[in-house]
Amino acid sequence: MEPDVGLNDSFARDLLARAAEAPPKTPRVFYHRDGDCIEFLVSDEGFYGERIDKFVTVYHGRESGAIVGGLIKGVRRFLKEMADTCPGFEIELEGGRIRVEYIVTAGMWRQHHNVALRKYKKLREAAEQADMEVEIPALA
């Protein structure tokens, strides 16, 4: 018999009690300290992921088909690489905060496959329109 879980134990009850009844605010962004990644969402619809490369996964909305967010991985390592190779990039990291489209752009400039570049560009447009910045605590 397969191990089962449900929505009735204390973990689920606690989590569901915290979840808002109202539609979530958009856009929203979160830095995952443990995974060293940034997740951002510009819509309240569900999505599936499309891995573009090791750095970026694009989220496609299940209803709209539009890019509704993304996941940017290896953030601290990437920013260190940027600081080493492009010292001026550090000016974008004021107080440990960075605009999401800047980091997407920096990742895009390292990409050399045309299909991936187009997806990066769409992701950057979504990030620009959402006008988000995120704090990376280790850099503050």
Partner 1 sequence: MSETHPGAVYSKTKERRGYATLQAVDPHDGGQWDVLLSHDQMDWIAANGKGAARELADTVRWSLLNIRHLYRGVRDDDRDVDDDGWLCYVATPEHAYNWKSGEKVRSWPHQVFLVYVTDERVVYHWRWDDCSEDDPHLPVDYLKRFRDKVF
**From candidates 27, 42, 56, 59, binder to partner 1 by CB under 8 A:** 59
What's the token pair of residue 87?
């010292």
Stretch that binds partner 1, among 2-10, 93-101, 114-122, 126-134 (CB under 8 A): 2-10
CB 42 within 8 A of CB 131: no
In angstroms, the CA 94 to CA 113 distance is: 31
For residue 137, whether the previous peptide bond is cis, meaning omega lies within 30 degrees of 0, is no
In angstroms, the CA 100 to CA 115 distance is: 21
Closest approach of partner 1 to the CB of residue 18, in Å = 4
Q: Is 4 among the residues that bind partner 1 (CB under 8 A)?
A: yes
Per CB under 8 A, residues contacting partner 1 are 2-7, 11-12, 15-16, 18-21, 23-25, 28, 30, 32-35, 37, 39, 41, 44-51, 54, 57, 59, 62, 71, 74, 77
